[in-house]
Amino acid sequence: MKKSIILLTIFLSFLQAHPIVFKGGKVIWLIDSPNITDIRFGKTFTKKFYSGIRVFNDKSSDQSYIASNNNLLIKRWNHSSYQANIYSLSSVGLNIDSEKSMYNIGLHADWENRRFMVMHMIEYSSFNESTKNSIRLAFTPKITDYKGTAVWLIAQYSNHSFDDKNNEILMPVIRILKRNYLLEFGGNGKETFLTLMTHF
Amino acid sequence: MKKNLLILILFFSSLFSQDINLEVEKDELVVEVSGMVCAMCAYGIQEGLSELSFLNQKVYKDDGINIDLDTQMIYIPIDLSKKIDEWEAIQIINDAGYDTVAIYTNFEGNKIEKKNIPKLVS
């Protein structure tokens, strides 16, 4: 059964994706959130498919994992004033210490124009049998041109369910974008959140 | 009645299909795209088009091209001594995840020509 799940996940991995950038584009990505510290490196092989590697630490169990990370752009809507996307996400890998297998699957949907952004992500992780729901509502007070530095203000809500516990976190996040660099920093007095990302 | 309605529709559609006030140099391609709302995402277009075989890199130096997010236009300076393949530019923009709407040229210097690009099936 477990083998079937792993095989299914590997199969899904090849149908999956997340930040898909541009064909040939490479991404380095660091996330430090209340639940996880995650470092990723990958490449967008086609305009719809990203594949890479990630090393992450689950803070609740203090266990570290190495996994392949594969994402797929399921659908994109390009319009003169907005873009919307649906991605599937997946990872399959091993616990670094015990070599126990793990997988992670999810869906990511977003809509954005030059002033507002809405995002919803749902993920299931096998290593702690958890489900995570994340919602982001964002706006930028000043619309900038292509070369400018864009600042976005984000309200981020996440609901993390595992071990019969339900951990809800509401956090304001500031996002700064300059060309191919992204920095996000958030904090709510108890927890902090950081994302650094570049593509090239 | 039907005829009048048709004339009215054609009249209004011609109003809305008026080309935007656009300046196009003789040695330039201007590409109208859709979905280009984020500068970081549009970076892929710049990266891709910087490899364009007929790009004139002297105009925008390291940037190679000029992107206007307000109008969804990409300005590509071209080297007229090379073979101009508009499809190459369209394909690169499509690979970056965007749809091309139209391409504008002014090779004669006095007449802007617009070609509508059908949406590529992906």
pLDDT tens per residue, range A56-94: 999 888 999 999 999 999 999 999 999 999 999 999 999
Note whether A179 contacts B39, CB cutoff 8 Å.
Answer: yes
Q: Is B64 on the interface with A (CB under 8 A)?
A: no
For chain B, the domains span 21-116
Query: What local confidence, expressed as pLDDT, does residue A67 receive?
Result: 96
Tokens for A68, please give them. Answer: 């392949």
Helices and strands of chain A, counted as H and E runs:
1, 12
Min Cα separation A96/chain B (Å): 34
Q: Retrieve residue B68's tokens.
A: 């206007």
Please tell me the predicted confidence (pLDDT) of residue B121: 55
Alpha helices in B17-119 (DSSP H): 39-49, 86-95
Closest-approach residue (CA) in chain B for A113: B37
Residues 6+ apart with CB under 8 A from A188: A169, A170, A171, A172
**What is the tens place of the pLDDT at every residue in A156-180?**
999 999 888 898 999 999 999 998 8
Cα separation of B117 and A4, whole Å? 45
* Tokens standing for residue B50: 């910087």
Contact B94, B46 (CB under 8 A): no
Q: Does the pLDDT value for residue A145 go beyond 50? A: yes
B6-16 pLDDT, tens digit per residue, is 455 545 544 44
Question: What are the φ/ψ torsions at residue B39 (nearest 5 degrees)?
Answer: -65, -40
Q: What is the pLDDT of residue A199?
A: 86
Q: Which of A100, A160, A157, A156 is nearest to A129 (CA)?
A: A160
Q: Between B39-49 and B86-95, two packed helices, what is the crossing angle to 10 degrees?
A: 140
Q: pLDDT above 90 covers what percent of chain A?
A: 67
Distance of CA B78 to the CA centre of its chain: 13
Nearest to A146 among B35, B67, B96 (CB): B67
Q: Return the SS3 of B6.
A: helix
Instruction: With CB atoms and an 8 Å threshold, state whether A146 touches B42.
Output: yes
Task: Give yes or no for residue A8 having a pLDDT over 90.
Answer: no
In this model, does residue A98 exceed pLDDT 50?
Answer: yes
User: Structural domains in chain A?
Assistant: 2-199 (2.40.160.40)
Among A122-136, B13-27, B40-54, the range scoring the smallest mean pLDDT is B13-27
Q: Does B121 touch chain A (CB under 8 A)?
A: no
Q: What class, spelled out in words, does domain B21-116 have in CATH?
A: alpha beta
Look at residue A9 and tell me whether its pLDDT is greater than 70: no
CA distance B114 to chain A (A): 17
Residues B71-97 have a mean pLDDT of 94
The closest alpha carbon to B33, from B99, B107, B106, belongs to: B99
Residue A14 has pLDDT above 50, yes or no: no
